[in-house]
Amino acid sequence: MLTVYGLKRSRSTRALWALEEAGLPYDFRRLDARAGEHRQPDFLALNPGGKVPVLVDGDFVLSESGAIVTWVAEQVPALGLVPAAGTRARALYDQWLHFALTELEQPLWVAAKHTFVLPEKLRVPAVIPVCAKEFGRAAQVLAQGLGDRPFLLGDAFTMADLVVGHTLAWAVRQQGLPLDAPAVAAYAERLWARPAFARAEAREAA
């Protein structure tokens, strides 16, 4: 049985959503952040960084949400959730996955750190409007790359869409940022309407 360690309303949603899309059975172990469970020795033995999600499959331990969703997709190749290695489609998949993690997400994470993650004495509220502007710029790049396609690589949903979709939900639902480009707003709604996303959110909240 696959096990995902995570926190509510975090990048853990990506791992659960991926597993729901793949149809793989799993156990979700939600950690209590207020109690510091993600900083306890047992969890740090799985991920010394103390961050979630972490996926465990027997003696195999994997962290970093981008790596997890890709690995999950590769367990069910018939579903086409990740393109085959060595193809141009896979290169484009990697491009958008890395874009989501390094460009689209990072302003959100910086804003979160300076809102509630860091000790209050280390927070710099002045960076938050800058983060919103940087997110807006990344969203415009996304709009141009998406064009009029339903998904990033064309007609088929992949795990790159999943990571981008979660990041857009983070921006809108947790930080109240607008999706100004109509194509991006419509794309986000398409992703959020997927039944697997609803199941993942319900599992995380249970």
Given the candidates 1.20.1050.10, 3.40.50.10860, 3.40.640.10, 1.10.443.10, the CATH classification of the domain at 88-194 is 1.20.1050.10
Q: Which residue blocks in the chain are alpha helix, DSSP H? A: 12-22, 41-44, 65-75, 88-99, 106-112, 127-146, 159-169, 175, 182-192, 195-205
The domain covering 2-79+198-205 belongs, at the CATH homologous superfamily level, to Glutaredoxin (3.40.30.10)
pLDDT, one tens digit for every residue, the chain (206 residues): 999 999 988 999 999 999 999 999 999 999 998 899 999 999 999 999 999 999 999 999 999 999 999 999 999 999 999 999 999 999 999 999 999 999 999 999 999 999 999 999 999 999 999 999 999 999 999 999 999 999 999 999 999 999 999 999 999 999 999 999 999 999 999 999 999 999 999 999 88
Q: What is the pTM of this model?
A: 0.97
CATH 1.20.1050.10 in the chain, residue ranges: 88-194
CATH 3.40.30.10 in the chain, residue ranges: 2-79+198-205
Kindly state the tokens that stand for 172: 């809108």
90, amino acid identity: R
Sign of CA dihedral 188, 193, 199, 204: positive
